Structures are given as structure tokens and as C-alpha cells.
Chain A
Amino acid sequence: AQSVTQPDIHITVSEGASLELRCNYSYGATPYLFWYVQSPGQGLQLLLKYFSGDTLVQGIKGFEAEFKRSQSSFNLRKPSVHWSDAAEYFCAVGPRNTGFQKLVFGTGTRLLVSP
């Protein structure tokens, strides 16, 4: 069965510093890949997605992610973190054979931003 691993439960980054959140997936074929962000009291918001093509994907709020097939990874990056980026980030995969209707989410990484 497919699974998603986000090895970091919490990450603290200084404001203005760069950020990388890790995501590894286990699946027989390359699934569709997503990153969602969840702010307190808010619903999840899609940051970016990868279906095919260019392995470096640009998203909203200055985020990007790189798909690496050889490492089964889809890490999220941002060059300069803002205090408003403090939130919980979820990586998700969607099996291609279901039209990504049934997403499998990781357990999330909580980002804390220090002044």
C-alpha cells in the first residue's frame, strides 16, 4: 500500500532563513504529489502539485518542491521564511489509477518561525 513519510514532526526556522521540509513516498508507480498547508483554525490549502514534466514545481506563497524519482522524494523548499509561514505542512500522494481521488497524507510537519 502507498504511504507517505514526513520524518520531521517539528522544525524551527529563523525568519528570513531558508526552509526545506522532507517528504518520502512509497508507491509502485510515480503517483501524483501534493503539498498542503494548514494554519490554525483553517482548512488545508494547496501549495503546489506535481503530475508530470518539469521536476521542479513552483507554488503559491513563494514555495517550490522538487520531485526526485530515484529517492522517492518530494521535498518542499522556500528560500526565505516569513513569520506568517508558521503552520502545519502536509505532503500527500494520489494514486494515478484512481485519478487521485483518494489522497494519502503524511503525518505533517509543524513549522515554527523564530524572530
Chain B
Amino acid sequence: GAGVSQSPRYKVAKRGQDVALRCDPISGHVSLFWYQQALGQGPEFLTYFQNEAQLDKSGLPSDRFFAERPEGSVSTLKIQRTQQEDSAVYLCASSLARSGEKLFFGSGTQLSVL
């Protein structure tokens, strides 16, 4: 595709529900990043993939958060037993290089946990 695609655009979940957020990076991009953006804040790093390898997951806030990129393309961020503090916009970005030199961001998934 022309850009990074994220789905769904909006997600409303009841507290305790599991959710899965999808990211389709730009074709051929090696690196994929997930960021979390709380209301009124800048994006915060969650995790980073180089191809299918998850090289850094230091930003994942708890073990309820899990990300995968099994074939080195599409990635899924899963949040188990959602809590209200998980409400945020989840941004996916991809990069052609093995670094974050130039990130292309998707429009994000806005998650609201009630």
C-alpha cells in the first residue's frame, strides 16, 4: 500500500476484554515500531521489530501487552484484560532501514476502555 495502514481506526472495549490491533507497514520496510500516545502527550515507545525479530520490548507497560510480527510484515499488538489506563492512541510506524532514521506513521488506533 501507499502508507502504513492500521485497523481498526477506533476500538471500544469493556474493561477486562482482550483486544488486537493490526498494523500493515509499507511493503518492504524492515523495521516496525509501536508507540502509545495518551491524550495530550507525545508518543511513547512500546516495542520494535526488525523483520520478524522483536529486538526491543522494553516499553511495553505490563505483561498484558504482547506484540508479534510472525512473517516480518503485518504486526499485531494484543492487549489482554484491558484496563482504563490502556485508553490511548496506538501508533504503528515502519522504516525502510534497520533503524528509525525516517519513520512512516500510520493514523493510529484509538482505544477507549470503558
Interface residues of A (CB under 8 A from B): 4, 36, 41-46, 49, 90, 92, 94, 98-108
Chain B residues whose CB sits within 8 angstroms of the CB of A99 once the complex forms: 98-100
Chain A residues whose CB sits within 8 angstroms of the CB of B42 once the complex forms: 4, 90, 92, 105-108
A-B contacts besides A4-B42, A99-B98, A108-B41, 19 pairs, CB < 8 Å: A42-B107, A43-B91, A43-B104, A43-B105, A43-B107, A49-B102, A90-B43, A94-B100, A99-B99, A101-B31, A101-B55, A102-B45, A102-B48, A102-B56, A102-B58, A102-B59, A102-B100, A105-B42, A105-B44
Chain A residues whose CB sits within 8 angstroms of the CB of B45 once the complex forms: 102-104
Q: What are 10 A-B interface contacts by the 8 Å CB criterion? A: A44-B103, A92-B42, A100-B100, A101-B48, A101-B55, A102-B45, A103-B43, A103-B45, A103-B103, A106-B42
Known: A49-B101, A99-B100, A103-B100. A43 touches B43 (CB 8 A): no
B4 on interface, CB distance cutoff 8 Å: yes
Residues 45-75 of chain B, each 1 if its beta carbon lies under 8 Å from chain A, else 0: 1001000000110110000000000000000
Chain A residues whose CB sits within 8 angstroms of the CB of B31 once the complex forms: 101
Chain A residues whose CB sits within 8 angstroms of the CB of B58 once the complex forms: 102
Least Cβ–Cβ distance between A11 and chain B, in angstroms: 16
Bound together, the chains give a CA A4 to CA B55 distance in angstroms of 24
Q: Are A44 and B91 in contact (CB under 8 A)?
A: yes
Chain B residues whose CB sits within 8 angstroms of the CB of A45 once the complex forms: 105
Q: Are A101 and B99 in contact (CB under 8 A)?
A: yes
- Checking B3, B40, B102 against A43 with a beta-carbon cut-off of 8 angstroms, the contacting residue is B3
Bound together, the chains give a CA A106 to CA B41 distance in angstroms of 8
Chain A residues whose CB sits within 8 angstroms of the CB of B103 once the complex forms: 44, 46, 103
Chain A residues whose CB sits within 8 angstroms of the CB of B108 once the complex forms: 43
Bound together, the chains give a CA A1 to CA B48 distance in angstroms of 19
Chain A residues whose CB sits within 8 angstroms of the CB of B41 once the complex forms: 107-108
Chain A residues whose CB sits within 8 angstroms of the CB of B102 once the complex forms: 46, 49
Residues 24-42 of chain B, each 1 if its beta carbon lies under 8 Å from chain A, else 0: 0000000101010000111
Within 8 A of A (CB), among B77-101: 91, 93, 98-101
Chain B residues whose CB sits within 8 angstroms of the CB of A46 once the complex forms: 102-103
